[in-house]
Amino acid sequence: MITPLEIQKKEFKKSVAGYSPKSVDSFLDEILKDYEVMYKENIELKDKVNMLADQIRQYNTLEETLKNTLIIAQTTADEVTGSARHKAENIIEDAEIKGQKLIEAAKDDVKNIKNEYDNLKKEIFIFKTRYQSFIESQLLSLHEFYQQIDNKKTTEIEEMIPTEESEDLGA
């Protein structure tokens, strides 16, 4: 391929009427061939540049789409995480409330059982006192009964035993 320097330094042979048409034509043919090759290469390179520019635009569009997708994905992930945290807090709060209710119910049950226990203790004490009174009254009745029996026997025995008066009367 001819360089620009060779074109610049090229000297044509002089003939009577000027430059030799044969050497000028031969040089122009060489330049034309090289120029055609360069022209075709230039067109191919321009096409390649355009194709690469299109690809870059596509990649830029794809990059922008990916960025937007990542932003949306991050936003969605943040929302899901926030929602999950909120639900977890609600579940914990509900569990704590239910736990408090269960504890209160258990305390009420304990209080009721204690009251029932106290009432049963009172009833047992009352029953014991009444039963003791009943037994004591029965013992007293038995004692009186036996005393009456003893008194009757004594009276009967005394009636059977003569007294001094009755001896004096009979004598």
- Give the three-state DSSP class for 143: helix
Q: Tell me how far CA of residue 27 lies from CA of 13, 18, 22, in angstroms.
A: 12, 16, 9
**Is residue 167 domain-resident?**
no
- The mean predicted confidence, pLDDT, of the chain is 87
Q: Which two tokens stand for residue 136?
A: 């004591």
Cβ atoms 62, 51 nearer than 8 A: no
The pLDDT of residue 67 is 96
**Is residue 168 domain-resident?**
no
pLDDT at 136 exceeding the cut of 80: yes
**Is residue 157 domain-resident?**
yes
pLDDT at 87 exceeding the cut of 60: yes
With vertex at residue 71, the alpha carbon angle to CA 70 and CA 76, rounded to the nearest 5 degrees, is: 95
Chain length of the chain? 171
The pLDDT of residue 26 is 84
- Structurally, how many domains does the chain consist of? 1
0.75 surpassed by pTM: no
Where in the sequence is the domain holding 121, given as residue range(s)?
4-162
**Is residue 92 domain-resident?**
yes
